[in-house]
Chain A
Amino acid sequence: MIEVLRAGLCDLVMDRGRPGRGAFGVPTGGAADPAALAAANRLVGNDADAAGLEITLSGPALRFPAGGVAALTGARFVATRGSGAAVAWDQTLVLAAGETLTLERAEAGCRCWLALGGGLAVPPVMGSRSTFLPASFGGFQGRPLQAGDVLPVGGRGGEVRLLRAQPPASLAGKGLRVVAGPQAEQFDDAGLAAFFSGNYCVDSAFDRRGLRLLGATVTHRRVELPSQGVLPGAIQIPPDGQPIILGWDGPVTGGYPVVAGVIAADWPRLAQLEPGDAVRFATIELETARAQAVARWKIEGLG
């Protein structure tokens, strides 16, 4: 088990999510960068679909009464260990009995993932241990962690292997690549020019449901249309013309025109945007988007 001494801004139990429930109004959800969580899981000897923590902007202080194996991937946070040892990202960490792991603010980027040997053993809900905040279910009691919480950890067999992971190079890229959306032709040339050549800024209205952008106003010919199915990365233009990028826990249907969609290969970049960040869009062809290989993390022995 793990004790939460102090909670971060929004620490959520996450795994790969619960795909296949869209017709019930439930999005897949799960870790904002599932490959980063899967890599952290491999570093601690877990199955790739084990549950870990997704930590946003400011992290928790955790105590490991019986010790444990942990790994961090994603954005670098200011972090310390009770033992005084450095907290390395992208590698296996072995924590002594009673040791604390404290994460402060993110140094750059927005989210990191913490995997724990054995995985977080919260009960699965609708086939997943991921927290779904909009309807308060899954994860740890359907909510972000709080001080005093005690998290159950699954059993872990075998010896500890010390491993290191190398993130895919594509994570370092800037900008978001998009393909034209289903209502793209409803926007006039001025609207499209504003959207594609504009500099946007991530608004403080920002969570896993969606991310509001502030910048050039995108004008369009029609405001309301029948509700249509949407998926993460879809960029909706509400009547005020300021784009909204739908996130992992966004609604499954939406009534605003979708000008473009962030390609799946760039969803991990979306996961690292924080309020105040600058955003630009680059349009690519559908076939090019489809040819983007699934980015692979390289895992190798340490030392």
Chain B
Amino acid sequence: MGKPKTSRLYLKAAPDPNATWRWVSERGLRLATGDATLACYATLSLLNFPEIEDMIPADGSLLLILRRGELVSADLQEALAVPLANTQATTGQLHEIAVEYGGTAGPDLSALAQQAGMDAATYISSHSAVEYTVAFLGFQPGFPYLRGLPPALHAPRRASPRVRVPKGSVAIGGAYTGIYPANGPGGWHIIGRTDAVLFDPQREAPALLLPGDCVRFVAA
């Protein structure tokens, strides 16, 4: 017998690569939910399990944060055993967001359009022709990751992030388009700006866009 594999030594129980559950730490249960992420989030929100303190939908996965000292109950285990494909996401609200494209509001637009092999006007009409879905919020409070960007518009993040991206900037990062809710650093390409207030902690509903909502950009 050879010596034990290093991974066995350090990881104790190595994660099962085929499992749909992964623990992020002993309080964080990450579910591989794929395309059913929003449906799964909606279902678990309705069922309101007392051991769940928070839920974070993300790109193809859903993180359940358990309350300190709580375990996954038999009821929750049963709910998670139901095939996720059978759950239906409810359609969220449609928001129209007015955008000033290009110029000082969108300093990266012309370079992105050139890379995509189109003129600025075509780029703008491609970006505003789509009805996007809010896949999840992250990075900053209220920052929406919008799914549905036409493949021709996909662009890897900037090699060096900007120190300050203005509030309301409409941006492209990989396969997503998004909107910066507040001034701050950011690595996405900026193509325009909106006056819509994405996040206001004093509002009854602090985040303008919620997972599952739909967004259409309107060129101002």
Could you tell me which A residues sit within 8 Å of B by CB distance?
A: 19-26, 28, 125-126, 132, 134-138, 178-182, 184-185, 187, 189, 192-193, 195-196, 226-231, 233-234, 251-253, 258, 260-264, 283-286, 289-290, 293-294
- Report A28 CB to chain B, min CB distance, Å: 7
- Report B110 CB to chain A, min CB distance, Å: 26
Are B25 and A261 in touch, CB under 8 angstroms? yes
B65 at the interface (CB under 8 A from A): yes
From the candidates B25, B61, B68, name the one contacting A234 in the complex (CB within 8 A): B25
B62 at the interface (CB under 8 A from A): yes
Expressed in whole angstroms, the Cα–Cα distance for A20 and B140 within the complex equals 16
Expressed in whole angstroms, the Cα–Cα distance for A180 and B57 within the complex equals 21
- Report A211 CB to chain B, min CB distance, Å: 15
Are A23 and B23 in touch, CB under 8 angstroms? no
Expressed in whole angstroms, the Cα–Cα distance for A125 and B204 within the complex equals 10
* CB pairs A–B below 8 angstroms (13 shown): A21-B206, A24-B141, A24-B210, A28-B54, A125-B202, A126-B206, A135-B181, A135-B199, A178-B25, A185-B7, A228-B59, A228-B63, A231-B24
CB contact under 8 A between A226 and B201, given known A180-B13, A189-B7, A283-B11: no
The A/B interface has a contact count, at CB < 8 Å, of 182
Expressed in whole angstroms, the Cα–Cα distance for A217 and B69 within the complex equals 33
From the candidates A28, A184, A229, A294, name the one contacting B61 in the complex (CB within 8 A): A229
- Report A171 CB to chain B, min CB distance, Å: 16
Are A23 and B57 in touch, CB under 8 angstroms? yes
Are B54 and A251 in touch, CB under 8 angstroms? no
Are A184 and B15 in touch, CB under 8 angstroms? yes
Expressed in whole angstroms, the Cα–Cα distance for A288 and B123 within the complex equals 54
Are B11 and A180 in touch, CB under 8 angstroms? yes
- Report A235 CB to chain B, min CB distance, Å: 9
- Report A241 CB to chain B, min CB distance, Å: 16
A residues within 8 A CB of B182? 135-136
CB contact under 8 A between A229 and B15, given known A22-B54, A135-B201, A193-B10: no
Are A192 and B10 in touch, CB under 8 angstroms? yes
B132 at the interface (CB under 8 A from A): no
Expressed in whole angstroms, the Cα–Cα distance for A189 and B14 within the complex equals 12
Are A233 and B142 in touch, CB under 8 angstroms? no
From the candidates A189, A228, A263, name the one contacting B30 in the complex (CB within 8 A): A228
Expressed in whole angstroms, the Cα–Cα distance for A44 and B17 within the complex equals 50
B55 at the interface (CB under 8 A from A): yes
Are B14 and A227 in touch, CB under 8 angstroms? no
CB contact under 8 A between A252 and B13, given known A23-B137, A264-B25, A289-B25: no
User: Which residues, 26 to 80 on B, are CB-close (under 8 Å) to A?
Assistant: 26-28, 30, 41, 53-63, 65, 68-69, 71
From the candidates A134, A187, A253, name the one contacting B136 in the complex (CB within 8 A): A253
Q: Which of A25, A132, A231, A252 has the most CB of B within 10 A?
A: A25
Are B56 and A263 in touch, CB under 8 angstroms? no
